Amino acid sequence: MSLSEETTICAISTPPGRGSVGIIRVSGPKTSAISMKILGFKPEIRYAHTCQFLNQDQSVIDIGIAIFFEGPNSYTGEDTLELQCHGSLPLLNEILNRLLSLGAVIARPGEFTERSFLNGKMDLAQAEAVADLIEAGTEQQAKSASRTLRGAFSDRIKKMQEQLTKTRINVEAAIDFSDEDLELSSNETILNMVTECLTDLDTVFTKAKQGVIIKEGLRVVIAGYPNSGKSTLLNAISGEDAAIVTEIPGTTRDILNIEVSVRGIPINITDTAGLRETKDPVELEGVRRAQEAIMVADHILFVVDITTLNNQPRNLRDVLTSFSDDFSLKLNSKKNLTIVVNKLDLIESYGIFAEELQAVDIEIPVIGISARTEEGLDNLREQFLKVSDHLHFTEDNFSARTRHISALEVAKSHLKKAQKLAEESIDLELIAEELRLSQLVMGSITGELTSDDLLGEIFGSFCVGK
């Protein structure tokens, strides 16, 4: 792929403000000519020249270091000049103006990296990792972005692509030569190959999901019926008086997000409107938004008011099971769920009851708390860690974005269809088509087939000079 524009771009690459060194980068076809003018000589390739940076009248703007990288052996793949000068903003601006007068234009945000991608120096997942690395706020985020930048994620995608290609070749051959007397892959072989692809994809999916959690935090949504104490719980966990709490059911309508950190793991907690049938249009919208948040959550805290349980004639296990079944049914989803039984301060034998709750023999974890007195909150924090641990954080994490997860989900759905078709020995052509679609969407992760709109969105979120 070649660049559509033949412009030469320049930008200050160091952050704004004062610093001992400020770096300006130039990239594009005019770089060599511009270098001659601003330095007054032809720089050697990849040699750190200590030299003067000259204005048009040959007056000295600054003395610094100039390094010329000849394309394709540069960050962008084009001829590139890096000027390291003193980190004074007026001085950097003066150099920038000089470069503009020599025919360079100011780079758009992320344009250096975009050119690097377009010139095949890195793929799209790696380019995104550049932005993630720059923005990393924690060591874990920086480490995983760095691994993606070095190709850890892309390599996994490429491997899956190869495996898919092999499978497709087998299927296509079975289609094309089915009339001839050749030894072709049996349906069973094809089924095994597809299943193997799916297993691989599951592993990568889990890892990518961890990557997103490291970057964006574990998305925990507090849901439940009105007045169960959801907003009180959000305030208690976050230590902020963020959500409005009243004794009137239906208080919360908007979605409220707060990020907390539990032993270094970022957790994004969302308070939602209580789920109930209502005719009030505002509350109805609140319930719709709550359901939307639940759909994209990594984990749900389903808050139940103990006093509503006490009114139930059935035993605890049955009540909780019916609550969670009802909840899952309503949402048409079997999401990761923890039942949080709240307001335990309102009953007499709190401690005994909390233990009784934890021992309830249902598949879903149950934790008893009082959001008001904050009793039991530590157990809840432990639960967050367990949920995160379930996602197996390891040293070889790589960073990933929600965009990648969506692509992997679509790829997986096509592979599942292919697997089902192979199981039923249905039309090989349909299998081939599902495999092709799966491979296509996987290619969007590394940018083999990406729309200009998406590229604009990705690189537009970069800072200028990168």
Q: For binding to Mg ion (CB under 5 A), which residues are involved?
A: 230-231, 251-252
Token digits of residue 92? 């950097």
Q: Is the peptide bond before 72 cis (omega within 30 degrees of 0)?
A: yes
Note whether 58 and 44 are within 8 A (CB). Answer: no
- 119 binding ligand GTP? (CB under 6 A): no
Q: Does 13 bind ligand GTP (CB under 6 A)?
A: no
Whole-number Å distance between alpha carbons of 110 and 136: 16
How many alpha carbons fall within 13 Å on the CB side of residue 201?
28
Closest CA to 366 of 410, 328, 320: 320
Measured from the CB of residue 246, what is the shortest distance to ligand GTP in angstroms? 6
* Residue in 30, 219, 343, 417 binding ligand GTP, rule: CB under 6 A: 343
- Nearer Cβ to ligand GTP (130/222): 222
Which distant-in-sequence residues (6+ apart) come within 8 Å of 76 by Cβ?
Answer: 27, 112, 115, 116, 119, 121
Question: Please, which residue, 238 or 251, has the CB nearer to ligand GTP?
Answer: 251
State in angstroms the smallest separation of the CB of 228 from Mg ion: 9
> 247 is in the binding site of which of Mg ion, ligand GTP, none (Cβ under 5 to 8 A by kind)?
ligand GTP
324 binds ligand GTP (CB under 6 A): no
How far apart, in whole angstroms, are the C-alpha atoms of residue 52 and residue 46? 17
* Positions 391 through 420 that interact with ligand GTP (CB under 6 A): none
- Shortest distance, CB of residue 264 to Mg ion, whole angstroms? 28
Q: Kindly give, in sequence order, each residue whose CB lies less than 8 Å from that of residue 268, ignoring residues fewer than 6 positions away.
A: 216, 217, 218, 219, 220, 257, 258, 259
Q: How far is the CB of 324 from Mg ion (least distance, A)?
A: 20
Q: Which does 426 bind (CB under 5 to 8 A by kind): ligand GTP, Mg ion, none?
A: none
How many residues appear in the chain? Answer: 466
What phi, psi does 189 have (nearest 5°)? -60, -45
Task: Please return the burial class of 309, using the count of CB atoms within 10 Å of its CB with bins 0-12, 13-18 and 19+.
Answer: middle
Using CB under 6 A as the binding criterion, the count of chain residues that bind ligand GTP stands at: 23
Stretch in the footprint of ligand GTP (CB under 6 A) among 19-27, 126-134, 338-346, 352-360: 338-346
115 vs 230 by CB, closer to ligand GTP: 230
Q: Which does 250 bind (CB under 5 to 8 A by kind): ligand GTP, Mg ion, none?
A: ligand GTP
Which of ligand GTP, Mg ion, none lies near 376, with the C-beta cut-off 5 to 8 A by kind?
Answer: none
The least CB distance from residue 267 to ligand GTP, in Å, is 19
**C-alpha count within 13 angstroms, C-beta hemisphere, residue 409:** 8
Closest CB 371 distance from Mg ion, rounded Å: 11
Q: Which is nearer to Mg ion, 224 or 465 (CB)?
A: 224
338 binds, among Mg ion, ligand GTP, none (CB under 5 to 8 A by kind): none
Distance CA 83, CA 12 (A): 9
Bridge partner list, 9: 27, 105
CB of 258 to Mg ion, least distance (A): 13
| 141 touches, from ligand GTP, Mg ion, none (C-beta below 5 to 8 Å by class) | none
The footprint of ligand GTP on residues 184-243 (CB under 6 A) is: 226-232
Nearest to 148 by CA among 211, 78, 228: 211
Contact indicator for 439, 161 with CB cutoff of 8 Å: yes
361-380 positions binding ligand GTP, by CB under 6 A: 370-372
Please give the residues from 244 up to 283 whose contact with ligand GTP meets the rule CB under 6 A. Answer: 245-247, 249-252, 273-274
Q: What is the smallest separation between the CB atom of 237 and ligand GTP, expressed in angstroms?
A: 12
In angstroms, rounded to a whole number, what is the distance separating the alpha carbons of residues 130 and 113?
Answer: 8
Q: Which stretches of the chain bind ligand GTP, using CB under 6 A? A: 226-232, 245-247, 249-252, 273-274, 342-343, 345-346, 370-372
